[in-house]
Amino acid sequence: MAMIERLDHLVLTVADIARTVAFYERVLGMLHETFGQGRSALVFGQQKFNLHQQGRELEPKAKHPTPWAIDVCLISNGSMAAIIQHLSE
């Protein structure tokens, strides 16, 4: 049974958001998007990388966020209870 429907977004923890945005815009042609209360993302096609500033990460976050760590955020077609049950088995 396929439990994962699609990728929602990736979260990159970075040392410097402005420098990260400048690099990805210049080198890879990604677009910078500001959303929520001043949050930053890099957008390309239908995908995006949300950016977290090291030391000022947003919840939810990785247990030990470090620069260039990646959190993968997935969309599931099942309930959290069903996913936990499946993984437990």
Domain harbouring 18, CATH code: 3.10.180.10
82 — pLDDT class (breaks 50, 70, 90): confident
What is the helix (H) or strand (E) element at residue 34, kind and residue range?
Answer: strand 31-35
Q: How many angstroms separate the CA atoms of 27 and 73, rounded?
A: 25
Q: How far is CA 26 from CA 19, 38, 81, in A?
A: 11, 21, 43
Contact 54, 62 (CB under 8 A): no
Full-model pTM: 0.73
- Total domains in the chain come to 1
Quick one: tokens of 47? 């995908």
**Residue 4: its pLDDT value, please?**
81
45: in domain? yes
Q: Compute CA 8 distance to the chain's CA centroid, rounded to the nearest angstrom.
A: 8
63: in domain? yes
Structural domain that includes position 38: 9-69
State pLDDT tens for residues 13-51: 899 999 999 999 999 999 999 998 888 999 999 889 999
